[in-house]
Amino acid sequence: MNQGRLTVVGLGPGDPRWLTPATAEALSAATDLVGYGPYLARAPEVPDQRRHASDNRVEVERARLALELAAQGRRVAVVSGGDPGVFAMAAAVFEALETGDPAWRKLEVRVEPGVTAMLAAAARVGAPLGGDFCALSLSDNLKPWDVIEARLRAALGADFVLALYNPISSTRPWQLRTALTIAAKIRGPNTPTIFARAVGRPDERIAVLDLADADPSTADMATLVIIGASTTRRIEREAGHAPYIYTPRFYGAGR
């Protein structure tokens, strides 16, 4: 029997030097790549490899195609940006696997971890994720806004640092402004806030702001937003250098 396999990989946020050797191996060993077109374009060229590009709206169909190809004996890599397990393709593959052809459960499905966007965004400014933190997608395409808002309020109330994925898009224009308004009411207006766009790509843009000054219109689909905890600190530097932002490891009486 021709034993197909499926590996779900992430390319990291942008800089090819963040792509792990394990992911590079999986990409070069694959007969077929399946993924959103711009991600496939970032994967190194491999002779005779078939590439199945799709747009960014059809994750489960894309996952089904990948599982079908693997069931036919192909060695398939499903390609995400960042880490494939964080707001990316791995969950879609398992959704498709659970609801699809029972034979798919016999396939070897592996996930390779990667560098997710919040880690790269945090690294660019210092260590804002140095304390406890939550990762929350602001997209209400797949969950109701009241769930998102309840999670946002819970995380803010318990003083977690927040990493907001999918903060805004042309079809979701108001969610980020609402989230920033809620955050400003619960945390102080001077809370360090980071808008990190396209980290590691040529069009990277990093802004370190006070929460009260964060303007949602400067964010887009490629932006990752970090909102500090009450303890998150700013270290000023000489003129022309952005401050460092970090969250101390200690909290309250724990110093």
Is 21 a binding residue for its own copies by CB under 8 A? The answer is: yes
Interface pick for its own copies out of 42, 54, 75, 94 (rule CB under 8 A)? 94
Residues in contact with its own copies, counted by CB under 8 A, come to a total of 83
Q: Restricting to residues 37-76, name those near its own copies by CB under 8 A.
A: 59
- The residue assigned the tokens 């309250």 is 252
Of 27-35, 44-52, 188-196, 238-246, the segment contacting its own copies by CB under 8 A is 238-246
Judge whether 135 and 225 are in contact, CB under 8 Å: no
The Cα-based distances of 164 to 7, 189, 195, 226 in angstroms read: 27, 18, 10, 6
Q: Kindly tell me which of 201 and 249 has the beta carbon lying closer to its own copies.
A: 249
User: Helices 89-99 and 59-71 meet at what angle, rounded to 10?
Assistant: 60
CA dist., res. 222 & res. 131, Å (int): 24
Q: Kindly tell me which of 47 and 144 has the beta carbon lying closer to its own copies.
A: 144
Q: Kindly tell me which of 4 and 126 has the beta carbon lying closer to its own copies.
A: 126
Is 238 a binding residue for its own copies by CB under 8 A? The answer is: yes
Cβ neighbour number for residue 187 with a 10 Å cutoff: 21
Of 32-40, 68-76, 144-152, 171-179, the segment contacting its own copies by CB under 8 A is 144-152
In whole angstroms, how close is the CB of 23 to its own copies at the nearest point? 9
Angle ∠(87,88,89) on CA atoms, nearest 5: 145
Judge whether 226 and 161 are in contact, CB under 8 Å: yes
At 61 the three-state DSSP class reads helix
Of 11-19, 31-39, 202-210, 216-224, the segment contacting its own copies by CB under 8 A is 11-19
CA dist., res. 214 & res. 209, Å (int): 6
Q: Restricting to residues 203-232, name those near its own copies by CB under 8 A.
A: none
In whole angstroms, how close is the CB of 120 to its own copies at the nearest point? 5
Is 11 a binding residue for its own copies by CB under 8 A? The answer is: no
Q: Kindly tell me which of 53 and 134 has the beta carbon lying closer to its own copies.
A: 134
Q: Which two tokens stand for residue 103?
A: 């034979």
Is 127 a binding residue for its own copies by CB under 8 A? The answer is: yes
In whole angstroms, how close is the CB of 59 to its own copies at the nearest point? 8
In whole angstroms, how close is the CB of 84 to its own copies at the nearest point? 8
Is 101 a binding residue for its own copies by CB under 8 A? The answer is: no
Interface pick for its own copies out of 175, 193, 223, 247 (rule CB under 8 A)? 247
Question: Residue ranges of the alpha helices (H) in the chain?
Answer: 21-29, 37-42, 59-71, 89-99, 117-125, 145-157, 175-186
Strand partners, 117: none
Q: Restricting to residues 161-180, name those near its own copies by CB under 8 A.
A: none
Interface pick for its own copies out of 76, 119, 168, 227 (rule CB under 8 A)? 119
Judge whether 27 and 9 are in contact, CB under 8 Å: yes
CA dist., res. 72 & res. 64, Å (int): 12
